[in-house]
Amino acid sequence: MVAEAENEHPPIPEIARIGIVGAGQMGGGIAQVAAQSGFDVRLLDVDQARLDDALGRVRDGLERLVKREVIRDDEVRASLARIRTGLDYDMFADVELVIEAASENEEIKRKILQSLLRVLRPEAVIATNTSSISITRLAATTDRPERFIGMHFMNPVPRMNLIEVIRGIATQEDTYRAVRTVADKMGKESVTAEDFPAFIVNRILLPMVNEAVYTLLEGVGNVESIDTAMKLGANHPMGPLELADFIGLDTCLSIMMVLYDGLNDSKYRPCPLLIKYVEAGWLGRKTKRGFYDYRGEVPVPTR
């Protein structure tokens, strides 16, 4: 039965060209790793300035690797030459795989998927870099749920070695194998996660962050004491509130809402203080204020 179903779809060709939607921190990082690994990359965004900024970050990241003697100068040039940027989805007409890496907003992702379907080859695979949204639900909005999968990269992508690979209920085995092969070529370790809210990493990590915010709200400790306690007492490289600022407090809240709504369990209720910070626009490093104020030379706790 499975073999017959798979034969209804064109076979997946060898993946040599990868399209990436979104030139933010994640999309730019994925573009760098893909280009370094020999893939031709098409990086799309709605804003040329974001594309230019992403290319600058990729160049800076590659040059840091040269200084550390990880790669050579000629590899920097070769990697940059493999990245093409643009504002039009038509640039994805010849790719074998597209990775959607836009904001963690389901409505935005749905709109992107509809735009992709107008130009993609029938055999092309679609992957989403969502950190929490249902793969099955997103796949159902496309014409190829069998060719749809989750590829959740960790931030910062060039330094973090993990990819969570998440099958939707309709994802076929050849799609899964093709994406695992891409992950291997990128030099990443991949783990398979079931399609449940927030998958593995964020299912464990974000409730810890949320509990740290509750600890702050209840006055058990201030920002500095909470982060210091977890760094020295649990040997974490970064305190949970510092980590929340790095992730983005809006992203943290979005993931907690997915957990709270998807699992219907009060233990996942987002902390009211986290909601207040997001309402204030204090989203962490990207807005220069979160649990720390980053507008000076040294981050200063805001509580």
Q: Which of 96, 146, 164, 242 is catalytic?
A: 164
- The amino acid present at 286, given as its one-letter code, is K
Comparing CA positions, the residue from 145, 193, 144 lying closest to residue 165 is 193
- Spatial distance between the Cα atoms of 213 and 88, rounded to a whole number of angstroms: 41
pTM: 0.88
What 8-state DSSP symbol labels residue 154? P
Local confidence band at 90 (pLDDT 50, 70, 90 cut-offs):
very high
Q: Are strands 83-86 and 40-44 parallel, antiparallel or unpaired?
A: parallel
Query: Which tens digit of pLDDT belongs to each residue from 212-245?
Result: 999 999 999 999 999 999 999 999 999 999 999 9
Other C-beta atoms closer than 10 Å to the C-beta of 143 total 12
Burial of 41 (0-12, 13-18, 19+ CB in 10 A): buried
- Spatial distance between the Cα atoms of 294 and 292, rounded to a whole number of angstroms: 6
What is the reported pLDDT for 220?
A: 98
Average pLDDT over residues 52-79: 95
Q: What is the DSSP string of 19-51?
A: EEE--SHHHHHHHHHHHHTT-EEEEE-S-HHHH
What 8-state DSSP symbol labels residue 268? G
Q: What is the mean pLDDT of the chain?
A: 95
Check pLDDT > 60 for residue 257. yes
| CB 152 within 8 Å of CB 163 | yes
Check pLDDT > 80 for residue 3. no
Comparing CA positions, the residue from 206, 203, 31 lying closest to residue 101 is 31
What 8-state DSSP symbol labels residue 140? T
Q: What is the DSSP string of 235-265?
A: --SS-HHHHHHHH-HHHHHHHHHHHHHHH--
What is the reported pLDDT for 5?
A: 47
Q: Which of 37, 79, 129, 131 is catalytic?
A: 131
Question: Is 115 noted as a catalytic residue in this protein?
Answer: no
Average pLDDT over residues 256-263: 93
| CA within 13 Å, CB half, 191 | 10
DSSP-derived 3-state class of residue 122: coil
Cα–Cα–Cα angle for 75, 81, 87, nearest 5°? 140
Is 202-301 the same fold as 2-193? Answer: no
Query: Which tens digit of pLDDT belongs to each residue from 122-159?
Result: 999 999 999 889 999 999 999 999 999 999 999 999 99
Indicate the CATH number of 2-193 among 3.40.1670.10, 3.30.70.141, 3.40.50.720, 3.30.565.10.
Answer: 3.40.50.720
What is the reported pLDDT for 141?
A: 95
**Pairwise pLDDT comparison (203 vs 3), residue with the higher score:** 203
Q: Which of 79, 129, 134, 202 is catalytic?
A: 202
- Spatial distance between the Cα atoms of 243 and 216, rounded to a whole number of angstroms: 14
Question: Is 297 noted as a catalytic residue in this protein?
Answer: no
- Spatial distance between the Cα atoms of 19 and 83, rounded to a whole number of angstroms: 10
Query: Which tens digit of pLDDT belongs to each residue from 77-86?
Result: 999 999 999 9
Check pLDDT > 50 for residue 191. yes
Domain limits, the chain: 2-193, 202-301
Question: Is 202 noted as a catalytic residue in this protein?
Answer: yes
Q: Which of 96, 146, 152, 254 is catalytic?
A: 152
Indicate the CATH number of 202-301 among 3.50.50.60, 3.40.50.1820, 1.10.443.10, 1.10.1040.10.
Answer: 1.10.1040.10
What is the percentage of the chain residues whose pLDDT exceeds 90? 95
Local confidence band at 104 (pLDDT 50, 70, 90 cut-offs):
confident
Cis-peptide, bond into residue 299, ω within 30° of zero: no
Check pLDDT > 50 for residue 2. no
